[in-house]
Structure 1
Amino acid sequence: MTIDPRQISPDNLHRGVKMALDTGEVASVADGYALFSRYRVNIIAGPEVEASRAHQVALLTMVNTGRRSLLGGVHVAGALDVPLLVALPGVGDTLSQAVASLGGTWVDKPHDDSPTIILGSATLPTTVTVPCFVATFDGWRGGVGPVGECERLSERADSTLGAILAGAIAMSEIFQNLRGYVLAGHRTVGMSLWDPGALDWHGGDDAPAIQAAPSRLWLIGLGHLGQAYLWTMALLDFEQPEAVEITLQDFDRLTEANDSTSLLTTLDRVGEKKTRVMAEWLEGRGFQTRIVERKFDGDLHLTDDDPQVALCGVDNLEARAALDEAGLKLVVEAGLGAGPDEYVAARIHCFPASVTSRSKWGGLDRDRAKGEGRAYDTLLESGAIDACGLVQLATRTVGAPFVGLVAACLVVGELLRRLHGGPELEVIDLSLRAPNQRMVVQLDKPNRPWSYGFTTVRSVVSPS
């Protein structure tokens, strides 16, 4: 990928490339894109992708997150000329077509010098000497580990949620490894969404099969996090997708930069309203939608016909402060870290909680970056951008789509866990750099039972 530095703006700068500008490791924007163009990954798909919906979900998740993060490409080896088992709009009828539509490349054999992910019972070529690990999942659980060290889970065909989680964590480990974090790709990392605080995600967690999901949701914000929520919800295997209704609230339009972090954005839709593009995609999935095209300020005037549960994915502190003032019965929100070190962090909050959203975020101001580093100096000196433009560029956050998707798994997992009678959490705090140090706070006063509407999802087998 090439970029004309004279055309760079806050609306088109790749949010991953921006971390190379912020660290000062590159001397120009062009150098940053050149660096990220050297990042690529192999995925070797086993024969399971022919008949297992969950294996296809994991593969497509890795392709979708990977092509946005690694500008050198996602190269998939395996027998992909099989029927697509996942109902995704506009990606074709076969798995190979879906991989290509989402930005992957189907190859005869993997590149010897690229880190490699093994999916299913695929075998690793003996010529590969770079980090290689297995992505595995089952039910609520998903994770990765080095080939030969990580024991595969059962990987049942109905394990959609765990498959999404495994795909997101796999791409996180690949990306961090390529960025020079030596532990990534050489360790076993995962979690159970039924019990996010448990470190032993390989052991049985006595979790029930996922048999239902919320049928009515209000979604606030349709950027990085919002689109990750939608990807996760849409991949669930609903028996009647038409029973799902999602209200979409956002006021903004898609930009080129959104393509680097947001899973449902494509460059051909840049400039269009986010609400309308997402509504079209969801309706193609079979869902019902409503749209609200104004900023969220807590003043919703909800009626009995409106959803009572909201998912929030905005980074505006004023909007987040108003989350529990809108009359919603339950709000689950996520916030992501910023900057070249903290971009792998995420924190999940649920409301109502022991503190109000106003007491948590009211009156706070976000720290503003100053745009320091060699690449920013080059932009100024060349006249490609003025001082005002530099500040605008610097204040855009670094981001990677797999971080938002791990957060989305936790957010959607919170709803599913509550719906299935599991523990209700107030806060989940984690960093994908040190995921075993995550913190979980359980809600003091549970809100059981679930009474906000649900519909059934297919469950192929009962948990063992």
Structure 2
Amino acid sequence: MTFQPAHISPDNLHRGVKMALDTGEVESVAHGYALFERYRVSIIVGEEVATSRAHQVALLTMVNAGRRSLLGGVHVAGPLDVPLLIELPGIDTSLSEAVVSLGGMLTAKPYDGSPTIILGEANIAVAAGAPSIIATFDDWRGGVGPVGELARLSEGADATLGAILAAAIAISETFQCLRGYVPAARRMVGMSLWNPGALDWQADDGAPAIRAAPNRLWLMGLGHLGQAYLWTLALLNFEDPAEVEITLQDFDKLTEANDSTSMLTTLDCVGQLKTRVMAKWLDARGFRTRIVERKFDGDLRLTADDPQIGLCGVDNLEARAALDEAGFKLVMEAGLGAGPDEYITARVHSFPASVTSRSKWGGLERDRAKGDGRAYDTLLEAGAVDACGLVQLATRTVGAPFVGVIAACLVIAELVRRLHGGPEIEVIDLSLRTPHQRMSVASVQPIRPWSHGFARMRLSQ
């Protein structure tokens, strides 16, 4: 299977492969793609996927994020010829069809030598010679740990948010393991979305069942983060998705590079406006959508009829500086690291906060990568790009979709937690390389009572 484009450009270079270029560990783009084609994962699923919507959510999140990160493939073994319990546009028959549609590969046993993720009570033996981890979750918690060491959580059939979190952490640990980070996939890693600062994520924190989520949102930016928000929101099991309205704001078109980081992008959508593609997908899922095709530049002024909650997925500092000036009653924002070392980091903010968005980001300029790796020299010497093209290529960000999904879980959980009367958090800062060192800062400007509207969840009997 060939992944490398015939002609490399800033709009088609895989954002994961780019980290191998930036570190200088490969001598050419071709070597970078060849390296990532050796990265693969096996997933073994248990009988739970036949009856548990949450287990299906976890599996499909792993497949979706995994195939974009690991070019050697996501190989899934287990009882997959069961009805699909999730409403996914264009897929309405079996779980196995959904796995293949999202880029997974069906197999009878784990791929020898690759890391293995176990989901549920699996009856297939793991392959020797590589780490094996269990993914587990409940409503608000998700995490992974080595086989034989991690006690599974309740893994209820309705635990969608925790299932997405556990799945993204599982792919994160697998990816970091394949990239040579020794502790990854050999340790306990998890988080409570009810109490993100708590390091003992396995302890029961008495969090309530998730029964509702906000029903009117304004989403700015439909790339890596924006699509992670939408994947997470769309998988929540609303009683009536038509009660949920999402305003989609962006002005750009999808590129081939978006496929490597963005959960709702496929290559057949390249060249189309992001707003139109995302609206079509959400409409097919049953949500209501509105489209705004302009930049978010601080001139936006909401009316009383607009959603009062903003979700920011843009990395433009000028736009972020204007976040709390448009009139939203609550804004959630996430920023991801961009370099070959920082791509694994995320910081989440809520506004109003102890400081304004203007004081936080106004006047700053984003650091840009220099592109000093040997592969960039090879491109220039071969005439594959000119000096201007090389600068554009080098300044594109490194990214991995599982980081955006974990950030999205934190952002969506903040909204859901406030709706359920939980703690309000102003800042969450974490690195997936050292997740036990994450920081959480309580909000000094609580906004209760909640008055922005909500839609109820469908719960199992």
Q: Is the 8 A contact 1:161 1:232 kept in 2?
A: yes
SS of 2:340's equivalent in the other structure is: helix
Q: Which moved more, 1:204-213 or 1:452-461?
A: 452-461
- Quick one: distance in 2 between partners of 1:317 and 1:414? 22
- Quick one: distance in 1 between partners of 2:91 and 2:357? 39
- Quick one: distance in 2 between partners of 1:191 and 1:4? 36
Q: How far off its partner does 1:31 sit?
A: 0.3
Q: Which moved more, 1:6-15 or 1:322-331?
A: 6-15
Who is 1:309 aligned against?
309
Who is 1:161 aligned against?
161
Cα deviations by residue, 1:226-269 (Å, 9 ceiling, x for unpaired):
00000000000000100000000000000000000000000000
- Quick one: distance in 1 between partners of 2:420 and 2:111? 43
- Quick one: distance in 2 between partners of 1:430 and 1:73? 28
Amino acid of the residue matched to residue 149 of structure 1? E
Q: How far off its partner does 1:368 sit?
A: 1.7
Matched, 1:344 2:347: no
SS of 2:289's equivalent in the other structure is: strand
- Quick one: distance in 1 between partners of 2:114 and 2:240? 41
- Quick one: distance in 2 between partners of 1:35 and 1:418? 43
> Aligned ranges for residues 219-230 of structure 1 at < 5 Å?
219-230=219-230
- Quick one: distance in 2 between partners of 1:192 and 1:135? 14
Change (3 A) 1:127 1:6: closer
Amino acid of the residue matched to residue 436 of structure 2? N
- Quick one: distance in 2 between partners of 1:375 and 1:394? 11
Q: How far off its partner does 1:91 sit?
A: 2.7
Amino acid of the residue matched to residue 206 of structure 1? G
Q: How far off its partner does 1:6 sit?
A: 6.1
Cα deviations by residue, 1:56-77 (Å, 9 ceiling, x for unpaired):
0000000000000000000000
Matched, 1:251 2:240: no
Who is 2:32 aligned against?
32
SS of 2:254's equivalent in the other structure is: coil
Who is 1:90 aligned against?
90
Cα deviations by residue, 1:396-455 (Å, 9 ceiling, x for unpaired):
000000000000000000000000000000000000000010000001121111100101
Amino acid of the residue matched to residue 133 of structure 2? F
- Quick one: distance in 1 between partners of 2:368 and 2:405? 25
Q: Which runs of 5+ in 1 are unaligned?
A: none
> Aligned ranges for residues 379-458 of structure 1 at < 5 Å?
379-458=379-458
Who is 1:46 aligned against?
46
> Aligned ranges for residues 68-107 of structure 1 at < 5 Å?
68-107=68-107
SS of 2:134's equivalent in the other structure is: strand
SS of 2:133's equivalent in the other structure is: strand
Amino acid of the residue matched to residue 407 of structure 1? A
- Quick one: distance in 2 between partners of 1:164 and 1:96? 19
- Quick one: distance in 2 between partners of 1:177 and 1:152? 22
Change (3 A) 1:411 1:348: same
Matched, 1:354 2:338: no
Q: Is the 8 A contact 1:2 1:30 kept in 2?
A: no
Q: How far off its partner does 1:127 sit?
A: 4.3
Who is 2:67 aligned against?
67
Matched, 1:285 2:299: no
Who is 1:182 aligned against?
182
SS of 2:429's equivalent in the other structure is: strand
- Quick one: distance in 2 between partners of 1:318 and 1:337? 17
Who is 2:19 aligned against?
19
Amino acid of the residue matched to residue 300 of structure 1? L
Q: Is the 8 A contact 1:65 1:263 kept in 2?
A: yes
> Given the two structures, how large is their TM-score scaled by the length of structure 2?
0.99
Q: How far off its partner does 1:370 sit?
A: 1.6
- Quick one: distance in 1 between partners of 2:124 and 2:363? 54
- Quick one: distance in 1 between partners of 2:125 and 2:301? 59
Change (3 A) 1:4 1:125: closer
Q: How far off its partner does 1:187 sit?
A: 0.1
- Quick one: distance in 2 between partners of 1:5 and 1:149? 42
Change (3 A) 1:127 1:218: closer
SS of 1:67's equivalent in the other structure is: helix
Q: How far off its partner does 1:4 sit?
A: 6.0
Q: Count residues with an aligned counterpart.
A: 461
Who is 2:271 aligned against?
271
Amino acid of the residue matched to residue 117 of structure 2? I
Amino acid of the residue matched to residue 151 of structure 1? A
Q: Is the 8 A contact 2:109 2:124 kept in 1?
A: no
SS of 1:171's equivalent in the other structure is: helix
Amino acid of the residue matched to residue 228 of structure 2? A
Amino acid of the residue matched to residue 320 of structure 1? R
Who is 1:366 aligned against?
366
Change (3 A) 1:126 1:460: closer
Runs of 4 or more, structure 1, over 4 Å off, are 3-6
> Given the two structures, how large is their TM-score scaled by the length of structure 1?
0.98
Q: How far off its partner does 1:98 sit?
A: 0.3
Q: Is the 8 A contact 2:5 2:12 kept in 1?
A: no
SS of 1:343's equivalent in the other structure is: helix
SS of 2:290's equivalent in the other structure is: strand
Who is 1:7 aligned against?
7
Change (3 A) 1:375 1:234: same
Amino acid of the residue matched to residue 437 of structure 1? Q
Q: How far off its partner does 1:126 sit?
A: 5.7
- Quick one: distance in 1 between partners of 2:428 and 2:252? 28
Q: How far off its partner does 1:300 sit?
A: 1.9
Q: How far off its partner does 1:3 sit?
A: 5.7
